[in-house]
Structure 1
Amino acid sequence: MARLCSSTSSNSVFIWTCFCVLVASNLAEFPRIKHNTHRNDDSVAFLVVGDWGRDGNYNQSRVAKQMGEVGKKIGIDFVISTGDNFYDTGLKSVNDPRFETSFSKIYTAKSLQKPWYTVLGNHDYLGNTEAQLSPALRKMDNRWHCKRNFIVGAGYADIFFIDTNPFVNDYFINAKKQKFDWKGILPRENYLAAVRKDLDSALSKSRAPWKIVVGHHPMRSMGYHGDTREIVDQILPILEAHKVEMYINGHDHCLEHFSNRKGSMQFLTSGGGSKAWKNKFHYGVHNNASKQFYYDGQGFLSVKLISRDKGALVFYDVYGKPLYSIKVKA
């Protein structure tokens, strides 16, 4: 490799060096964040919301208020965002006022003043992705933690956050008039191979009783977008091989629970943070054995991991009413 980088052309050296650096950055292991819970044991509680950032409109503020109430009631440790954090075109820069008008000034409840662990959605890629990934935002609001791929270790759980956007073929071959910001992603195939490899490696090293994976796009959904075939083909086998307990996503603006036909994995959609009620469904995609719950509306999800092998999930609507609950086992 060193011999190849030593080209006789200075331009070739520069181009090849940039390529080597880019590939090396793509092959870096997932960074890990250790989240210390406020309890004496290793139990952990958190909320999940997705597809929210609309300056408080489309009932975003109402959902935020109810999140605050539920967060206080169950004593959450943090919040997870499943992406599409700022509509319609992400953030323009770290100084974009939408960071305050759609986040800091909306989620103001005391119980929500905890870390927000966040992935990017496709709408975030229509803006400046590096702005959302920048540590500068944390100086404005220290709750904000956004990376492309990372791990949060909290109590009984290891939570693996993955950027699913680069897996979706349509964003590259049928993008229409949309302009995605792919800085840090190209060459795409190298990036995707690195994510698969690093996810597989990270899951194999984890000794946590609960392994949870978070991404923007659904693997199982009867909502407007339906299944995301690329991550079903490329990511699901990795999760099944490592007996992941939950895959949590947004993208479809609804609330859903599916169980896996193979193994015990739960598929959970929490994309009801603001605009919803699309009233378009993919009936017949999944059999009755896998579909457990579907709600075409706004709301959010709470997760409590009570012990090494027992957990409780509850979906809430925009009024804070529990719509559906389930007890799960690791």
Structure 2
Amino acid sequence: MTVDRRGFLSGAATAASVATLAAAAGPAWAEPAPAPSVAKFPYPDSAELRVLITGDAGTGARPQWAVADAIRALHADTPFSLALGLGDNVYESGPWASDDAQFDAKFEAPNHGLDFPWIMVQGNHDNSSILPGDGGWLLRGDHEVAYHARSRRWWMPSRYYSVPVGPPATPVVEFFVLDLNPIAAYLPPLFAPFWAADGQFMTEQAAWLDRALSESTAKWKIVCTHHPYLSNGSHGNAGAYEGLTIEPINGNHVKTFFETHVLGRANYVLSGHDHCLQVLEPTAATKGTRQLVSGAAAKTNSGAHAKGATTPALFENFTDLGFMVLDLTPTSADLGVYTVDPSNGLPVNAFQRRLA
């Protein structure tokens, strides 16, 4: 957010009743999107996949276009199979309707020529209420679900969902898209039981995720969220978001959700939220699950990072725009991190490593 985040968040708990008026009006669909009215770009059935990973892209401003130019340059050389958009898809406050012109200005136009499926995640800015990014108007995110029916690229058939990709009988990867905004909002829905940490939406999402992970036959299981479990960026780790101790806006419920339902069951957690690029190491606490943060597709942290951040990292960049590329086969996972100079829109391979 562009406001004084810490000052705002320190008072957020007492102001939460105001922010939840819109959320309390009724539950979100938590249902599939309408049937598409356009032909969606198909998912590949190949055993070799090239996955573009972006996050926090939806500004419509020149930095987003520069990153998209760099992505197009790579795509022309070695085509991508699909993309992940890790939230904050429509800055600064989210869409007003499923036909909002912001979808074209901040998604379709910048990504022209990148004609493959984009698996989209909801972010806090997509659900804004009083202030940009407060996450206090959760019903707003339903417009992004509805946009699934209008776009060939944009894939968001529900607020949370999974997509197996690869040969139908033996998928290479399954992506599990989560919506943790109800338990990560800076203005939490204290008086909207549907959205509560123990309410219907999160309880049903947790049960679905437990079942979906257990039943998945994919080689790689990848959980996609906007809010990270671990981050050395300025937002920090779940349970200590923004360096705060005030519950629940410090992300304590997010921390519990990851530890109960994700860690040790997924190979990777991919998140945005922090406007930086991080390849963090798995630890005993993560039970082997590796956290990647790719949230620099339109904004950067300008060098800011969490005070006392201690998670070991293979790579970190808090100053440059960029994105990640994950090449997957049934036996390997190779990660590339690319930075982008906004003056020329060219990709620079800043990190390349076989992760598994």
Does the TM-score normalized on the shorter chain lie above 0.5? Answer: yes
1:121-270 aligned at under 5 Å gives the runs 121-126=123-128, 128-135=140-147, 138-139=149-150, 141-146=151-156, 147-155=158-166, 156-168=172-184, 170-172=186-188, 185=195, 189-229=199-239, 230-242=253-265, 244-262=266-284, 263-270=287-294
Kept in 2, the 8 Å contact 1:217–1:250? The answer is: yes
Q: Deviations over 1:125-158 (max 9, x none)?
A: 01732211105x543x311112311111102001
Give the secondary structure class of the aligned counterpart of 1:235.
helix
Q: Structure 2 counterpart of 1:119, which letter?
A: V
Q: Structure 2 counterpart of 1:152, which letter?
A: V
Whether 1:48 and 2:48 are equivalent positions in the alignment is no
Give the secondary structure class of the aligned counterpart of 1:172.
coil
In the other structure, the counterpart of 1:278 is 302
Give the distance between the partners of 1:301 and 1:66, measured in 2 at CA: 11
Instruction: Measure how far apart 1:100 and its partner are.
Output: 0.8
Give the distance between the partners of 2:48 and 2:206, measured in 1 at CA: 29
Kept in 2, the 8 Å contact 1:34–1:153? The answer is: no
Kept in 2, the 8 Å contact 1:120–1:163? The answer is: yes
Kept in 2, the 8 Å contact 1:51–1:271? The answer is: yes
In the other structure, the counterpart of 2:350 is 323
Give the distance between the partners of 2:291 and 2:274, measured in 1 at CA: 13
TM-score (norm 1): 0.79
Give the secondary structure class of the aligned counterpart of 2:212.
helix
Kept in 2, the 8 Å contact 1:81–1:117? The answer is: yes
Whether 1:310 and 2:320 are equivalent positions in the alignment is no
Kept in 1, the 8 Å contact 2:182–2:196? The answer is: no
Structure 1 stretch displaced more, 259-268 or 228-237 = 228-237
Instruction: Measure how far apart 1:231 and its partner are.
Output: 2.3
Give the secondary structure class of the aligned counterpart of 2:333.
strand
Q: Deviations over 1:270-326 (max 9, x none)?
A: 101112133321143324xx22211012110101103x2211011101130011122
Q: Structure 2 counterpart of 1:44, which letter?
A: L
Q: CA RMSD in A?
A: 2.8
Kept in 2, the 8 Å contact 1:56–1:101? The answer is: no
Give the distance between the partners of 1:299 and 1:254, measured in 2 at CA: 8
Instruction: Measure how far apart 1:221 and its partner are.
Output: 0.6
Kept in 2, the 8 Å contact 1:35–1:152? The answer is: no
Paired residues, what number? Answer: 287
Q: Which runs of 5+ in 1 are unaligned?
A: 1-20, 175-181
Instruction: Measure how far apart 1:71 and its partner are.
Output: 2.4
Whether 1:80 and 2:84 are equivalent positions in the alignment is yes
Instruction: Measure how far apart 1:38 and its partner are.
Output: 5.6
Give the secondary structure class of the aligned counterpart of 1:90.
coil
Whether 1:115 and 2:117 are equivalent positions in the alignment is yes
Give the distance between the partners of 1:130 and 1:49, measured in 2 at CA: 21
Kept in 1, the 8 Å contact 2:41–2:152? The answer is: no
Whether 1:37 and 2:37 are equivalent positions in the alignment is no
Give the distance between the partners of 2:194 and 2:267, measured in 1 at CA: 30
Give the distance between the partners of 1:173 and 1:134, measured in 2 at CA: 22
Instruction: Measure how far apart 1:90 and its partner are.
Output: 0.6
Give the distance between the partners of 2:186 and 2:211, measured in 1 at CA: 28
Q: Which runs of 5+ in 2 are unaligned?
A: 1-25, 33-39, 129-136, 167-171, 240-252, 341-345
Q: Structure 1 counterpart of 2:222, which letter?
A: I
Cα 1:165–1:22 shift into 2, 3 Å: closer
